[in-house]
């Protein structure tokens, strides 16, 4: 996904004179960015390892009418300078595009300092951010083009975790399979594990790679096909991140909701991303146990 | 009464927060620097607040806004009667400036350490659009320079020679720990040019602000009288 991001961004820089990329060393050496920096030295800006400055600079670029992309490893991009994200975009009446790599534990060997399961939850604390979670490298370019062409602020969360095939969702919750006992919403790379976990279960599986704004009306339409409002959210970031939105959508309907995702614990553990999926119950076996327990309490 | 005296009178009469009364000199100490910028330096008028090639003044140190609002009113950016209701429910003027509410205000500030990074971005944004002449002037306090985000901005601006950037440090000796080598040392160590002048000497302050050198960002330390 990172390669698609850097090459598509380089292509967009050739065609969008107001696009600028701001980096804090991470990915500055990517071949596509090296070439783009040579072609557009004023619009590919590596600030060095300075994340507060990176977000402030992106905000300042936006205030002059540029469309900034700021990019780094997820915890450094989102958490280290969160006050800058809060104040230097929306509060200024400005907007930009933030693109992260690393996700919740892509570099499992790197440990907790490089894990960012709480990023999407943080964007839910400030207004009007759109969130894109591609589930496949082929979903990255469209999400990036839409974000660059938009006037809204976007957070695009790239991951090494991918589904086997891309899906075209156009901002909606798209059913992959229909069933009657529950609707399982899979966000981004969680789709394939969810499909594997529910292969022989009588559930609807719906996919989105644009969880913000959340497609509440799409969820309600899917639930209208079921006898009971049973919802299972499966997100590749902090468990419960979208609970408030599903609860809002179903506030006037008696419903049951299970939220699966990454736990809060600092496991002080390394291994691989597959290991962390298993420890957080996000591998097909873990998902299947949680889903069948929910369906047959 | 001169325009400056009028601005000073407006600033003195402006009540930002009646619950925290302060001596006049503490409430309006950035007045000289802001006045000199708007009166002698900045290429911006109430008619050009949205012009792409305007000079920009970023009030990073947003928590002493009376002098700023008074200068904006005296120069015609905002009505003078707005200053009688700072912080009111219907007022566009808060105890910190909000750029979405106040014509001519370039950034919403209040939290310290945001102005210099935003200014670096504005310089880069103008440069990418071929606007290499307009200046971006940022007013920061000496205490505000303790914020690490400023250190990131000072180092990068110096290393890359952002000559359109001018920092104006109003030194009221409020930093918790004195800067042992003086206010300008960290700027100079990072490749900035610098000048230090008394705030009250408007001609010297203007000369110092205009004394920019190609290839270097510039800092002017405007000192306020001892004891302020």
User: What's the pLDDT tens digit per position in B13-58?
Assistant: 999 888 888 888 888 999 999 999 999 999 999 999 999 999 999 9
Chain B partners of A57 at a C-beta cutoff of 8 Å? 117-118, 120-121, 124
Residue contact B117–A84, C-beta within 8 A: yes
Q: What is the pLDDT of residues A246-266, one digit of tens each?
A: 999 999 999 999 999 999 999
Q: Rounded distance, CA A218 to CA B197, Å? A: 64
Dig out the tokens for A284 from the structure. Answer: 């097909």
Which whole number is the average pLDDT over B126-149?
Answer: 96
Q: Is residue B140 part of a domain?
A: yes
Residue B226's pLDDT is 57
Name the more confident of B158 and B179: B158
User: Which among B111, B118, B153 has CB closest to A83?
Assistant: B111
Would you say the pTM of this structure is higher than 0.95? yes
Q: Taking CA A88 as the corner, what is the angle to CA A20 and CA A102, rounded to the nearest 5 degrees? A: 65
Query: CA of A21, closest CA in chain B: separation in Å?
Result: 11
Name the H helices within B78-174. Answer: 115-128, 148-159
pLDDT in tens, A181-198: 999 999 999 999 999 999
| Chain B contact set for A84 (CB, 8 A) | 114, 117, 149
Question: Nearest residue of B to residue A85 by CA position?
Answer: B114
Structural domain count of chain B: 1
Interface of A with B in 150-189 (CB under 8 A): none
Which residue shows structure tokens 């050198």?
A: B213
What one-character DSSP code corresponds to residue B40? I
Summary mean pLDDT of chain A: 97
Q: What percent of chain B has pLDDT over 70?
A: 99
The CATH number of the domain where B193 resides is what? 3.40.50.970
Residue B97 located in a structural domain: yes
A59 at the B interface (CB within 8 A)? yes
Residue A163 pLDDT grade (very low, low, confident, very high; cuts 50, 70, 90): very high
Closest Cβ–Cβ partner in A42, A57, A65 for B120? A57
Give ipTM to 2 decimals. Answer: 0.96
- Confidence category of residue B144, pLDDT binned at 50, 70, 90: very high
Do the domain assignments include residue B82?
A: yes
User: CB neighbours of A274 closer than 8 A, spacing ≥ 6?
Assistant: A283
| Residue of B100, B120, B148 lying closest to A60 (CB–CB) | B120
The dihedrals phi and psi of B196, each to the nearest 5 degrees, come to -130, 125
Tell me if chain B has a CB within 8 Å of the CB of A63: yes
How far, rounded to the nearest angstrom, does the alpha carbon of residue A128 sit from its chain's CA centroid?
15
Using pLDDT thresholds of 50, 70 and 90, give the confidence band for residue B227.
very low
> What residues have CB less than 8 Å from B88, skipping those under 6 apart?
none
Residue B199 lies in a domain: yes
The B-side interface with A (CB below 8 A) comprises: 52, 99-100, 106-108, 111, 113-114, 116-129, 148-149, 152-153, 155-156, 159
| Neighboring chain A residues of B99 at a CB cutoff of 8 Å | 92-93
The per-residue pLDDT for B1 is: 85
- Sign of the CA dihedral with B159 first, then B165, B171, and B173 last: negative
Q: Determine the pLDDT at residue A197.
A: 98
Q: Identify whether the C-beta of residue A119 lies closer than 8 Å to the C-beta of residue A81.
A: no
Q: What is the pLDDT of residue B172?
A: 84
Q: How distant is the Cα of A209 from the closest Cα of chain B, in angstroms?
A: 31
Band of the pLDDT at B225, cuts 50, 70, 90? Answer: confident
Note down the domain range covering B58. Answer: 3-223
Give backbone dihedrals phi and psi of B194, rounded to 5 degrees, phi first.
-150, 160
**DSSP E strands, chain B:** 56-59, 136-141, 165-171, 193-198, 218-223
Spatial neighbors of A132 by CB under 8 A, at least 6 apart, are A143, A146, A147, A154, A155, A156, A157, A209, A210
Is B228 inside a domain boundary?
no
Taking only the tens place, the pLDDT of each residue in B68-122 is: 999 999 999 999 999 999 999 999 999 999 999 999 999 999 999 999 999 999 9
What pLDDT digit, counting tens, does each position of B118-130 carry? Answer: 999 999 999 999 9
pLDDT tens-digit readout, A80-97: 999 999 999 999 999 999
| Nearest chain A alpha carbon to B105 | A92
Q: Directed axis angle between helix A51-63 and helix B148-159, to 10°?
A: 70
Query: In Å, how far is A24's CA from the nearest CA of chain B?
Result: 11
Q: What is the mean pLDDT of residues B218-223?
A: 96
Nearest CB to A50 within list B108, B118, B156: B156
Work out the average pLDDT over A133-161.
97
Strands A44-46 and A19-23: parallel
* B78 assigned to some structural domain: yes
Q: What is the pLDDT of residue B228?
A: 43
């Amino acid at each position: 996904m990172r390669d698609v991001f850097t090459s598509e961004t380089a292509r967009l820089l050739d065609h969008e004179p107001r696009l600028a990329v701001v980096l804090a060393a991470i990915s500055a050496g990517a071949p596509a960015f090296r070439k783009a920096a040579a072609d557009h030295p004023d619009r590919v800006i590596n600030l060095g390892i300075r994340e507060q400055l990176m977000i402030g600079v992106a905000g300042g670029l936006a205030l002059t009418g540029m469309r900034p992309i700021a990019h780094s490893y997820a915890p450094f991009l989102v958490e280290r300078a969160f006050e800058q994200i809060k104040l230097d975009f929306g509060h200024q009446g400005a907007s930009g595009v933030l693109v992260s790599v690393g996700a919740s534990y892509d570099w499992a060997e790197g440990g907790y300092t490089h894990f960012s399961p709480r990023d999407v939850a943080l964007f839910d604390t400030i207004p009007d951010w759109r969130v894109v979670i591609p589930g496949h490298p082929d979903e990255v370019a469209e999400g990036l083009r839409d974000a660059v062409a938009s006037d809204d602020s976007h957070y695009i969360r790239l991951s090494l975790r991918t589904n086997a095939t891309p899906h075209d969702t156009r901002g909606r919750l798209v059913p992959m399979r229909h069933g009657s006992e529950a609707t399982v919403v899979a966000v981004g790379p969680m789709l394939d594990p969810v499909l594997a976990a529910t292969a022989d279960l009588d559930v609807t599986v719906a996919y989105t790679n644009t969880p913000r704004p959340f497609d509440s009306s799409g969820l309600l339409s899917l639930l209208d096909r079921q006898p009971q409002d049973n919802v299972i959210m499966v997100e590749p970031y902090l468990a419960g991140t979208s609970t408030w939105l599903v609860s809002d959508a179903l506030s006037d309907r008696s419903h049951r909701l299970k939220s699966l995702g990454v736990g809060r614990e600092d496991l002080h553990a390394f291994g691989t991303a597959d290991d962390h999926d298993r420890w957080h119950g996000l591998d097909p076996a873990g998902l299947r146990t949680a889903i069948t327990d929910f369906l047959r309490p | 009464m001169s325009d400056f005296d009028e601005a000073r009178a407006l600033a003195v009469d402006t009540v930002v927060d009646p619950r925290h009364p302060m001596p006049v000199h503490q409430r309006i100490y950035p007045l000289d620097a802001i006045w000199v910028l708007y009166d002698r330096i900045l290429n911006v008028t109430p008619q050009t607040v949205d012009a792409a090639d305007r000079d920009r003044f970023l009030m990073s140190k947003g928590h002493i806004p009376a002098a700023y609002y008074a200068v904006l009113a005296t120069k015609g950016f905002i009505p003078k009667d707005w200053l009688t209701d700072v912080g009111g429910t219907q007022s566009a003027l808060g105890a910190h400036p909000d750029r979405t509410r106040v014509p001519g205000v370039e950034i919403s500030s209040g939290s310290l350490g945001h102005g210099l990074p935003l200014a670096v971005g504005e310089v880069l944004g103008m440069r990418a659009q071929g606007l290499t002449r307009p200046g971006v002037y940022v007013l920061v306090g000496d205490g505000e320079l303790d914020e690490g985000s400023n250190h990131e901005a000072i180092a990068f601006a110096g290393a890359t020679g952002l000559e359109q950037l001018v920092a104006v440090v109003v030194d009221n000796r409020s930093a918790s720990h004195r800067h042992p080598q003086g206010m300008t040392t960290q700027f100079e160590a990072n490749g900035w040019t610098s000048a230090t002048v008394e705030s009250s000497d408007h001609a010297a302050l203007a000369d110092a602000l205009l004394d920019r050198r190609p290839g270097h960002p510039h800092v002017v330390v405007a000192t306020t009288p001892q004891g302020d």
